[in-house]
Amino acid sequence: MVLAAPRTGAAGAVREAVPLLPDPVSVTEMLRVLRGRAGPALGRLPVAAHTMAGAPTVSLPELRSLLASGRARLFDVRSREEAAAGTIPGALNIPVSELESALQMEPAAFQALYSAEKPKLEDEHLVFFCQMGKRGLQATQLARDLGYTGARHYAGAYREWLEKEA
């Protein structure tokens, strides 16, 4: 993928594309560079714009089905205070700020700290969510970067769950 900006000539005619990033570049690397160039404005993009960047998502109907079948491991990456006020039933709360270290722990240490089995790299349906979607996406991308290929993002987030399930 080449991210390029047009260079215009007389009367606005496009002369050539000027590469902004080398080819090939991962979506993660592209977002890192763009965040550096765009600053805080990129953080204000709607969740859908981030989601299009490549993290697999789970819709509410898919999430319902996965939960009903017992096939999903659900991770609430909001703060402990947010999760204490309410969460999706069965979710394990690991704030996004500690997720990377949690996923790199030895299984026994993870079990001792979170009272739950540590997810395995090969687990199929690891679903991450937050309140609005941004931290859930960040957590999903982090888990995938660490090798958790089954990590998926519930983009509707807890907000959608509350509106449609509570």
Catalytic residues: 130
Q: How far apart are CA 29 and CA 25, in angstroms?
A: 6
The three state secondary structure string of 51-109 is: HCCCCCECCHHHHHHHHHHCCCEEEECCCHHHHHCCCCCCCEECCHHHHHHHHCCCHHH
